[in-house]
Amino acid sequence: MVTNIKIARTIPKSFELIGKILYYFIAVVLLFSGISKIIDPTPMMETMKAVFKVNESLLILAATILPIIEIGFGLMLVFNVQTKKILIAVSILFFHFFVFSVYGSIIGLNNDCGCFGNLVKSEFGIFMILRNLVFFIISILAIKSFNVTAEALINK
C-alpha cells in the first residue's frame, strides 16, 4: 500500500507581499509604457528608424503592435488571466528590451528610446541598461514568487 504524504511549505507573509508588489509593479510598468507610447509614438519611431533599416510601414506596424502587447500583458496581469504564461512572456519581452538597450548603447545611439513615450526621459546608456536589467530580474522573481505561492495554495 502506498501512502501519499503532502508536505505543506509555509511561506512567510512578507514573501507573499513582496511577490504581489513585484507582480503589480510589472503590470503598472507595462500599462504606463504602453499608454505613453500610444500618446506619443514619435521617440520610439525615431529609435526604430535609427536601428532598423526597414520599410516605414513595418515601423508603423511595430510601433502600433508593441504598445498594444504591453497594455494587453498589463491588463492580463491585473485581472489574473493566464498569469504564469503572461509572466513568462513578460520576462521574454523585458529580456529583449535589456538586449536592445545594450545593443543601442554599444552602437552609440544617444537619443531617447521612446520606452515611455515622451513622458519619461529614457536615453541609451548605463542607466537604461540597468533599468531594463532590473525589470527583467523583477519579472523572473515574480515568476518564482508565483510558483511558490501557487504551490502553497495547492497544498493547503
Does a structural domain hold residue 89?
A: yes
Q: What is the pLDDT of residue 114?
A: 78
Does a structural domain hold residue 3?
A: no
CA distances from 53 to 46, 50, 117 (A): 12, 7, 21
Can you tell me the distance from the alpha carbon of 152 to that of 156, in angstroms, rounded to the nearest whole number?
Answer: 6
Does a structural domain hold residue 8?
A: no
* Digit-coded pLDDT (tens) for 107-144: 998 887 778 867 778 888 999 999 999 999 999 999 88
The answer, yes or no, to whether residue 102 has pLDDT greater than 50, is yes
Domain count, the chain: 1
Does a structural domain hold residue 66?
A: yes
Does a structural domain hold residue 9?
A: no
Cα 4–83–79 angle (5° rounding)? 125
Neighbours of 74 (CB within 10 A): 23
The answer, yes or no, to whether residue 3 has pLDDT greater than 70, is no
Q: What is the pLDDT of residue 153?
A: 43
What mean pLDDT, rounded, does the chain reach? 85
Residues 34-49, mean pLDDT to the nearest whole number: 89
Does a structural domain hold residue 119?
A: yes
Does a structural domain hold residue 2?
A: no
Q: What is the pLDDT of residue 151?
A: 47
Q: What is the pLDDT of residue 155?
A: 43
The region of weakest confidence among 1-10, 11-20, 26-35 is 1-10
Residues 14-39, mean pLDDT to the nearest whole number: 90
pTM of the prediction?
0.83
* Digit-coded pLDDT (tens) for 50-89: 888 889 899 889 889 999 999 999 999 999 999 999 999 9
Does a structural domain hold residue 42?
A: yes
Instruction: Cell 485581472: give the residue.
Output: 79
Q: What is the pLDDT of residue 107?
A: 92
Domain range spanning residue 42? 14-149
